[in-house]
A and B are shown apart, each in its own frame.
Chain A
């Protein structure tokens, strides 16, 4: 199992008496897009919150295989998951820094790297050459990603002023700026029109193939899920009810039952 990027074993999350995730095990591969689908309230976002350190899982284990170096995600709390383990995420309701410019959003994502480069602000205060060089590189990286999503000409505008679809894409490339090994996307296609969804598919495929970043995807839009997923995990009431390829999932009676109910 060494080629798995993410190994989740027997993950359980309880809120008081409510069991949000019940003994969930799944894995995700490095150059795969793994989708987690399921009806509303199935516990998909809770899985993300456990993975990215926003919740502390009640039981179970989560291992990230980072360059043949097994990291226990449970050891990291909130921001350290992104900082140390390289797990980035986006949110169901977009969380940009709306009053800051697009470029600034990208620069904040490179905070830890720049913080070290600026000598924890001391070198930065005296305008040291090495810091200015690093800052320039960070701008280049931002420009690279903004070129890909076609937002370079709006780099100096406030992120909150962008159209909705662009905000979604910006949030994804902002997460890519921390150079993650695993990118967790929480409903990236929500509210997008058909054209924007197609662009999103292209972007995600690019991240998977060219950046070799594993993607974990929560999505309701089946055209996105079926179009790009290599592997699908179906949850219902916190339990895994099916796991397989997109095609297998589409024809699985358990999945159809969970979504549509049974015939009497």
Chain B
């Protein structure tokens, strides 16, 4: 029998009741406070700052077993609820994938960078696209002026994709593509490149981000309104389940939610809430959860509040497994285990004294590993200035390699499990997440909460509060509001000039001259009809349009005409 009635409320009650009981029966702590701590504090320096985490969880002087009574997680790695890790032996079997996100300029530029990373020991590819690509505008569009290749690689057509992966064996690498609004089109392009090279679709391994919900909430790179985008996600779920069984078609991302200014609890809760929404989408499409849940992977941020971050990863795994089992009736173990990619926090990097960023990234990466990440991107020290140089990327990659090979932290699984403090933080974050799930349900679910602007406003509010804390020096950023220097260190930075734009525009001009324009028009017309019919799966016609060399924007424009464009509710 599934527990769906008042599910969140019951969870919250259960957890708060345990805490109440614990506060009544902590004799040993009270004795220690009276006999040891208080006398000490009276005689010695004691900072009266409020000690708390980013999610405003109070931090006590010390923790003990009495903080965990009635709520001790005795599970082991690789078993329900997977708090300690999705696999029994974790990094003893296979280290996390070192997946450096990269992309700039033309497809040729990025192809060279990918080959450089492979040569230096990177084990998975991860592509960044520029803003025109993310929004679905071609390089030759007026809106793309000045932006082509600046924030990532530009892709305007299948031809660009062929260049991007030139001489990279797609059946041997796993590729992650950070693309959301046009995810179905980029997936179609990737599949088409593979087919052209006689690689079958069921050999393709990788991840396409596709998480449009977090776009409305945080990153804000959208094209159509939420319901229409979700229909395309549904089509991708169906298509990939059938045709590309090793392809993770959605990476449910907290990263951007955190970068936009939220705290750890908000990142955790909003991301998992999005996860439940995709789960329901698949269910409604008639897919079996047990079959598609393993294809849903997550992507979290890892920033500076060390223990809270580790607790966040543990809480995420526990909540996902628990809710899937109890509320959605998933039985198969491997479908319950949450797997995730981690990226260190870009927002934590400072423009001032940039070399300090190497240290920040190392600490964040360590937390990601202690939290049991499956893959990791480490940011480069120069990223508050520009896209990273090769030198800076190498230091970032070496940071991971040092953690993996020199520190010994990867030897035992979940080595911090059992720490009273960490277990307490894990429990606290879990409870905070349940409170947000309840609130989001009251608002009618994630999409409705987005349309009302609730999630966006929650994040903006936290971002503003945090900035005020920085200005009041309640929150310290070394080199910025403490230990600042007047003369700044100079570093070499990567410059992406407008050459990429010229090359891309030119390539499009030649492409448009040489392709079969009737074939293009027919393919786009078929796609329009499919878009208009909600019951049809649009992936097949998307692939045909891509293969006819219709451009990215030509395809997205069909969608814009059919679905309209999204206008964000007023946030400020």
* A and B found bound together: no
- Report which B residues bind A (CB closer than 8 A): none
- Report which A residues bind B (CB closer than 8 A): none
